[in-house]
Every structure is written in structure tokens, then in C-alpha cells.
Amino acid sequence: MDLSLTEEQQMLKSSARDFLNKECPWKVVKEIDESETGFSAELYRKIAELGWLGMIFPEAYGGMSSSLTDVGVLYEEMGQALLPGPHFTSSILCGSIILETGTSEQKQQLLPAIGQGEKILTLALTEPDYGWGPECIHLSATPKGGKFVLNGTKLFTHDAQIANQIICVARTRESKNPAAGISLFLVDKESPGLSCRSLTGFLGEKLNELTFNSVEVPAANMLGKKDNGWSALTKPLNRAIVVLCCYMVGGCQHLLDMTVEYAQRRVQFGQPIAAFQWVQSYIIGQANHLEKARWITYEALWKLDANKPQQEQDEAASLAKAVTSEAFHECGHLGHEVHAGIGVDKKYPLYLYSKKAKTLYSYLGDPYYHRKRVAQILEL
């Protein structure tokens, strides 16, 4: 197993960093974060023109057929810059679901548009009975002629305020096995009976509540087989989880670099605070969290690219998410210990990373959920 980057990946990393330094400085991130939609159409258009939104798609659908590791290299740079926007939700998460479950017609209709930035999708999964397992899916989809009628609520849906379509995880049949009887539906955002409300709080990106009040969806808008939606989500979620971990690794790296730079120039008692043992211990803690997050994430990328047995892929993705979620959160916490008062000043970028770390901590499953998943895989 060789986790070093190829020459092409190094070039991708370098070119992405140059672009993000120019187009996405932290003050731009701050402006987008404080805007009503949390979205910059201009910036999104630019990353679409670079081909970033279609990297994981086959060339037949206008993509690059890139490996997951290639995408991970890019997302680590995105995480350092804290690049905002629905690029992950639409391209990586929903794009992976469509690749796994969509018909040829659905793929041809959706993937090129997603890759070109013309269409934005999001995944509506979690509900008021909060959790990332199938037992928490209660939104109902009842057949009615050639349609399904959806009723229920989805919470903490990322990017729904700007999405054109929503992949909704719904229950089409009650069963003693929670994973059975779940189906996936592609729902137009403007469907009658569907309402979207933005949630407030210390959030790293816009989260929403979606209410489905007798929303009618054509049967042709089902993704994959009826009642088999949960098992169909396994591979796409694994892929998305590991790419999300790469983004968080990039965030950890930036937090470490930012904290080291501050400690070296902040003078107290006649010397830089980097000379103090307690400050050094905080920074070393950041470095430890970064390294374990980076290498467990790159090992997971390798296992998914190498198409290792499904159980190994499931375990690798969950271990990476548990470790990396905590690493990003702790790197932020330790950064605040070193920065002290300036760390909460909105004229300084640290708070943006803290917000993002708290939001991504739970996105696609918090560490508790993923440790529980690993225990189940190991039959503990």
C-alpha cells in the first residue's frame, strides 16, 4: 500500500491551491457565510469550468473518471480554503447516489447538468427522530396511481435553500427490519406541498427543514428499486463520507498552520508564545489529530479505489469519519486555546473553521454512530 501522491495528483494539488488562494480568500468565505443564501453563483461557475464538479463522473456523462483519491486530493485543498457551496452535496453525495441507483436515462439527464453546475441536488435523509440509521426514517411514500405521495419532515438538510431537486429517503413499506421498505425519490424543489425553512444557529453552512405535505412524485422519479433504497445507499455514502473526511483533513491542516504562525508572531513576556510549553502542547495536539485523520482517511481512499471487500470499505469509511470528525473539532478547540480572545473576533478567520467543524462533526453520521457501525461490522 503506497499512500504517496502521484505526479499528476501533486499538480492537481498545486493548481487547486493557486486557484483557491486567488478566488477564495477567507474574507470571501466570510461574505458568502453571511449572505442570505450562503452561495456564490460566480464562484460555483468557476469551479464548474475547472471540471471539479464532474471529476467522479464517467466520461460518457461529461466527467473525468477520476479516482476517489484524486478527488480526495482536491477536497483536502478545498478544506484548507473552507470553500463554500453545494459542490460536495450535489456532485459527490448526490452524484454518487445517481451513479449507483439511476437508470441510464436518469444518469444522462442529471449527471452532465450537475457536473456543469447547471443543476444542484441535495439529499434529504435525517428527520426529527434524529439519527443516521434506517430506524429513523419515517417520512412516508404512499402509492397513488402512477405516483407516490410523500408526507413527513426532513431536518438538517444541507443546501436545500438553493437546490433544484432533492433526493428524498422515504419509507414505502413498514417492516420489522428497519432497513427494508425504504425507497429513494427525486423530488423537484418547487413541487406543490413542499416547503423549505432555513434553520438558525452556530452553523458552518445553511441547514434546512423540509416539510412534505402530500407531495406527489411520479413513479418514474424513483431512484433504484422500490423498498431497496437503504442498501443502495451504502456504497455512495461510503464514497461521500471519505471525500468529506478529506475536506476536514484540509481544515485540520489550515488550523495547525494558522495556530503555528500566530504563536510565532504573538509576543508575551518578551518572547513569542510558541516558546511556552503549554502553547507547544496545544500545537502538538493539533499535529497529532491531523496526522491520524490524514492517514486513516487516505487508507480509506485506497481501500475504496482498490475495491476491497465491502465489509472492509464500510469499516474504513466509518473509522475515517469517527476519527476525522473529532480531529477537526479538536484542532479548532486547541486553536482557540492558543489564540485566546482574538479567536472569537470575526475580523479573524478562526471562528469560520470552528463553525464548519461543528457542522461537519455530525454530517453523514457523528463519531458515536460510526463507532456503533464498526462494532456491528465486527459483530461485537
The pLDDT tens digits for 106-116 are 999 999 999 99
Cα(86)–Cα(309) distance, rounded to whole angstroms? 31
Determine the pLDDT at residue 201: 85
Cα(109)–Cα(131) distance, rounded to whole angstroms? 32
User: Quick check: 312 pLDDT over 80?
Assistant: yes
Determine the pLDDT at residue 365: 97
Determine the pLDDT at residue 153: 98
Work out the end-to-end distance of the chain between its first and last CA atoms, rounded to an integer number of angstroms.
28
* Secondary structure E strands in 19-82: none
**Cα dihedral 43, 48, 54, 55 sign:** negative
Band the pLDDT of 2: cuts 50, 70, 90: confident
Which tens digit of pLDDT belongs to each residue from 290-305? 999 999 999 999 999 9
Band the pLDDT of 375: cuts 50, 70, 90: very high
Region 197-211: mean pLDDT is 92
Region 75-85: mean pLDDT is 98
| Residue located via cell numbers 487516505 | 298
Q: Tally Cβ neighbours within 10 Å of residue 239.
A: 26
Determine the pLDDT at residue 271: 95
Q: Tally Cβ neighbours within 10 Å of residue 134.
A: 19
| Residue located via cell numbers 464500510 | 314
Determine the pLDDT at residue 102: 96
Which tens digit of pLDDT belongs to each residue from 320-341? 999 999 999 999 999 999 999 9
- 3-class DSSP state of 4: coil
Band the pLDDT of 204: cuts 50, 70, 90: confident
User: Quick check: 223 pLDDT over 90?
Assistant: yes
Region 244-272: mean pLDDT is 97
Cα(189)–Cα(177) distance, rounded to whole angstroms? 30
Residue 314 sits at the vertex; the CA angle it makes with 311 and 315, to the nearest 5 degrees, is 85
Q: 292 to each of 284, 312, 319, how far by Cα in Å? A: 12, 19, 11
Which tens digit of pLDDT belongs to each residue from 32-70? 999 999 999 999 999 999 999 999 999 999 999 999 999
Region 172-196: mean pLDDT is 96
User: Quick check: 1 pLDDT over 80?
Assistant: no
Summary mean pLDDT of the chain:
96
User: Which cell goes with 379?
Assistant: 459483530
Q: What percent of the chain has pLDDT over 90?
A: 96
